[in-house]
Amino acid sequence: MDKMFGTDGVRGIANRDLTPDLAYKLGVAGAMVLAGETKHKPTVLIGTDTRISCGMLEAALCSGILSAGADVLLTGVIPTPAVAYLTRFYHCDAGVMISASHNSYEYNGIKFFSGDGFKLPDQTEEEIEKLVREYSETGCQRPVGEKIGRVTRKESAVHEYIEHLKRRMSVDLSGLRIGLDCANGSASGIAAQLFEDLGADVRVISSSPDGLNINDDCGSTHMENLRKLVISEKLDIGIAFDGDADRMLAVDSEGNLIDGDIVLAIIGLDMKKRGELSKNTVVVTVMSNLGLDICANANGLLLEKTKVGDRYVLENMLNNGYNLGGEQSGHVILLDHSTTGDGILTSLALLRVLSGGKTTLSQASHVIRVLPQVLKPAHIPDDRKTEAMADRDLLDAIAKFEQELDGKGRILVRPSGTEPMIRVMLEGEDLDQINRIAVSLVDLIVSRYGTYPKNN
């Protein structure tokens, strides 16, 4: 049986893979595992993004939690990092975010946070999954009477989160002209007002969610509209969030993409200069660009590398006392200020470098030369990922192409933890060469195990 939890919670097509029945059982199991040892009546906070299925899943999840005897605080639409923060702020025993992050609207997900605002370790997720699989109506002893949970809607949640951001990263944005792409997601009701409050002149796109348009040709996975906005309006910077606003990417005044590696380099060097960067170290994943290694070596930064997934970046940071880490996707963790990636907070840390006219984003990004990189998806069913990754012909092809690159590039082929695909990534000095190799590897995988995405 396939593992229920991926690298970022339980995720799938809403009402097919992630059903109300499963959400209910996750609510029961999550409440029992995360709040079962408390002597008081436990409380679980729930937030959502803007996709159409959130109401359905929130109702089912909430019912499960209440039936397990825990109270629920509902925040409504809010970023994932807000759930992490508010779980601690309201002294809840656990938090849950209903979101599929950067995925399209038909997907959804459920991700849990512990009472201290951190994502759950594998062992705790396994406990929840075990209870879900063993759940039965006849074997479940439900509380009755006054022991049933109550629901409270927390209307002040968004305000509390905004004030938290202002306290943690107070930046004077006067004089800066900023474009925002809110992905028609969780940042839509928050980001523009916050940046305006801090003094910026703001232009906003993709900030009118209708349940179906989250991440639809917008946000951090579709940067073209933001690029056009920045150039046409002559803005200083454009910032794009994903659906639940836990990551961000940017474009400079000329429309050049500023990805997570560049953001980490700029923020890392700024923190080092201010004496804020713990052990002069940035934690990144194996997907980080080789240009970041070159930049780090040239500027006295150290890099720690983990496998892909912000949870593994965070684990390394916590175990070793580091305070900055993240991924090329723009998921950046500023551990002095947040327990998880926070796109809006990261934007403020980046804008701190630019505030007061000290430099432009284009100038700041010159600290790193990003080597050409190609990332292509091979869409295959989840249950064939393990078989595909062990395919001898695929392994032989990778070895042959690594020989061809002759130390001037690298190949990384890995199964996605959040989507039914294998990701093929290549880096090197010759873009045509690495693109050809990537296409060959994707051809091999999909010819045996799956299909191309619709718009490949």
Q: What percent of the chain has pLDDT over 70?
A: 97
Asked if 55 and 155 sit in the same domain, the reply is yes
Asked if 175 and 137 sit in the same domain, the reply is no
Which CATH number goes with the domain that contains 418? 3.30.310.50
Q: How many CB atoms lie within 10 A of CB 15?
A: 15
**pLDDT tier for residue 36 given thresholds of 50, 70 and 90:** low
* Sign, Cα dihedral of 248, 253, 259, 260: negative
**pLDDT tier for residue 290 given thresholds of 50, 70 and 90:** confident
Residue 186 reports pLDDT greater than 50: yes
Asked if 147 and 180 sit in the same domain, the reply is no
Q: Which of 258, 217, 213, 267 is nearest to 238 (CA)?
A: 258
Asked if 219 and 362 sit in the same domain, the reply is yes
Tell me if 388 sits within 8 A of 422, measured CB to CB.
yes
Asked if 304 and 195 sit in the same domain, the reply is yes
Q: φ and ψ at 72, to 5 degrees?
A: -130, 135
Asked if 232 and 354 sit in the same domain, the reply is yes
What tens digit of pLDDT does each residue of 420-439 get? 899 999 998 899 999 999 99
**pLDDT tier for residue 137 given thresholds of 50, 70 and 90:** confident
Q: Domain total for the chain?
A: 3
Domain housing 437: 373-449
The pairing of strands 43-48 and 201-205 is unpaired
Which CATH number goes with the domain that contains 105? 3.40.120.10
Question: 367, 388, 417 — which closes off a domain?
Answer: 367
Q: Which residues pair with 165 in a beta bridge?
A: none
Tell me if 52 sits within 8 A of 211, measured CB to CB.
yes
For 249-279, give the secondary structure using H, E and C: EEEECCCCEECHHHHHHHHHHHHHHHCCCHH
Please report whether residue 444 resides in a domain. Answer: yes
Query: For 448-456, what is the mean pLDDT?
Result: 65
Q: What is the DSSP letter of 174?
A: T
Question: 339, 367, 395 — which closes off a domain?
Answer: 367
Please report whether residue 194 resides in a domain. Answer: yes
What tens digit of pLDDT does each residue of 402-420 get? 999 987 788 999 998 778 8
C-alpha triplet 428, 429, 431: angle, nearest 5°? 80
Query: For 163-188, what is the mean pLDDT?
Result: 96
Asked if 154 and 274 sit in the same domain, the reply is no
Q: What is the DSSP letter of 124?
A: H
Asked if 413 and 322 sit in the same domain, the reply is no
220 is catalytic: no
Question: 128, 159, 190 — which closes off a domain?
Answer: 159
Query: For 7-35, what is the mean pLDDT?
Result: 93
Please report whether residue 80 resides in a domain. Answer: yes
Query: For 256-265, what is the mean pLDDT?
Result: 97
How far, in Å, CA of 117 to CA of 86, rounded?
8
| Identity of the residue numbered 335 | L
- 269: alpha, beta or left? (left if phi > 0; alpha if psi -120 to 50): alpha
How far, in Å, CA of 66 to CA of 110, rounded?
17
Tell me if 248 sits within 8 A of 330, measured CB to CB.
yes
What tens digit of pLDDT does each residue of 221-259 get? 999 999 999 999 999 999 999 999 999 999 999 999 999
**pLDDT tier for residue 456 given thresholds of 50, 70 and 90:** very low
Please report whether residue 307 resides in a domain. Answer: yes
Asked if 303 and 426 sit in the same domain, the reply is no
For 308-369, give the secondary structure using H, E and C: CCHHHHHHHHHHHCCCEEECCCCCEEECCCCCCCCHHHHHHHHHHHHHHHCCCHHHHHHHCC
Please report whether residue 456 resides in a domain. Answer: no
Q: Which of these is catalytic: 53, 101, 186, 288?
A: 101
Query: For 143-165, what is the mean pLDDT?
Result: 95
How far, in Å, CA of 406 to CA of 402, rounded?
6
Please report whether residue 454 resides in a domain. Answer: no
Asked if 363 and 389 sit in the same domain, the reply is no
Q: Which residues pair with 258 in a beta bridge?
A: 250
Q: What is the DSSP letter of 6?
A: B
Please report whether residue 3 resides in a domain. Answer: no
Asked if 299 and 277 sit in the same domain, the reply is yes
Please report whether residue 122 resides in a domain. Answer: yes
Asked if 377 and 362 sit in the same domain, the reply is no
